[in-house]
Amino acid sequence: MPSSYAAAMVGQRFELKGRVAVVTGAGSGIGRATAELLAEAGATVTCADRDGDAVRRTADAIGAVAVELDVTDRAAVDALVAGAVEQFGRLDVMANIAGIVDWSPLLEMTDDHLDRLLSINFRGVLHGCQAAGRVMVAQGSGSIVNMSSAAIDHPGHGLGAYAISKAAVAQLTRSLAVEVASANVRVNAVLPGWILTEMTQARFTRPDGTVDEALRDKLLDAGRKSSPLGRVGTPEDIAAAVLYLASDASTFVTGQLLRANGGADMPW
């Protein structure tokens, strides 16, 4: 293959010019970095988050549309997708990234607590998959990318219910991939390892907003040691994995769980 042809292919495969994308959780961390990267790749992006100020900041910075919503609200997610289709005429990428972490030991988990976690982390992703999936099946193309977690590979103290919610996302991804494949719609998930974001920073931030530096160093050290690459991940590392799955670089990839974790799941 001539190298100029190959070079053109590299650009085209990752390019999202003319594509329409919706990103939930775009107000912070991985969702924000993903919205930025998809926009940089040329997509017209709609950013959604329950934190209105944060999502407007992201959207303003990249010339995107901002929508304040809670992903547990099915009607709001339906309206989010319908709004993008109405405004931009199609939907090519749905990145279901909004989520929360929870550190309750399973023996102490209450029903209310569990309902909240599953509503956001699982049902919120299901709402996005359903709303986007219906549009994409009718359209005959599209890519859905869900955010699962490396927590499904490593049972961890206090992360049991969180891991269960993310395992449900992984299974949803694989099952839906089978259901919509004949319509040329792909569904994949990213399983991030230890990523430094507002979510993980909250673990070493005191209620008054100050940082517990000793705890930060301990947690970051443990995060680095959990991966053969010897570092924690960045939101940009994960956004790049989402771009791959969202773009034509991955046209033959569906139902996959992409472990963007520095190799942490290996028995090394």
* Of positions 16, 27, 189, 241, contacts ligand NAD by CB under 6 A: 27
Report CA 87 to chain centroid distance, whole Å: 23
* Of positions 21, 29, 123, 244, contacts ligand NAD by CB under 6 A: 29
**CA torsion angle 180 186 189 190 (round to 10):** 180
CB 192 within 8 A of CB 233: yes
CB 126 within 8 A of CB 174: no
CB 25 within 8 A of CB 49: yes
Which residues in the 133-162 window bind ligand NAD by CB under 6 A? Answer: 147, 149-150
Under the binding rule (CB under 6 A), the answer on residue 95 touching ligand NAD is: no
At 177, phi and psi to the nearest 5? -55, -40
CB of 17 or CB of 121, closer to ligand NAD: 121
> Which of 122, 162, 194, 244 is labelled catalytic?
162
User: What angle separates helix 160-180 from helix 124-139, to the nearest 10 degrees?
Assistant: 10
Sign of CA dihedral 83, 16, 34, 151: positive
CB of 149 or CB of 173, closer to ligand NAD: 149
Which residues in the 169-198 window bind ligand NAD by CB under 6 A? Answer: 192, 194-195, 197-198
> From the CB of 178, what's the least distance to ligand NAD, in Å?
23
CA separation for the pair 192, 232 (Å, rounded): 10
Under the binding rule (CB under 6 A), the answer on residue 97 touching ligand NAD is: yes
Under the binding rule (CB under 6 A), the answer on residue 49 touching ligand NAD is: yes
- Considering only 67-75, 126-134, 214-222, 247-255, which stretch makes contact with ligand NAD by CB under 6 A? 67-75
Under the binding rule (CB under 6 A), the answer on residue 31 touching ligand NAD is: yes
CB 25 within 8 A of CB 260: no
> From the CB of 12, what's the least distance to ligand NAD, in Å?
29
Under the binding rule (CB under 6 A), the answer on residue 122 touching ligand NAD is: no
CA separation for the pair 117, 20 (Å, rounded): 29
Q: Radius of gyration of the chain from Cα atoms? A: 18
Q: HEC profile for 13-38?
A: HHCCCCCEEEEECCCCHHHHHHHHHH
- Considering only 19-27, 83-91, 174-182, 204-212, which stretch makes contact with ligand NAD by CB under 6 A? 19-27
5 is catalytic: no
> From the CB of 174, what's the least distance to ligand NAD, in Å?
17
Under the binding rule (CB under 6 A), the answer on residue 30 touching ligand NAD is: yes
Q: Which residues are catalytic?
A: 162
Residues that bind ligand NAD (CB under 6 A): 24-25, 27-31, 49-51, 54, 70-72, 97-101, 120, 124, 147, 149-150, 192, 194-195, 197-200
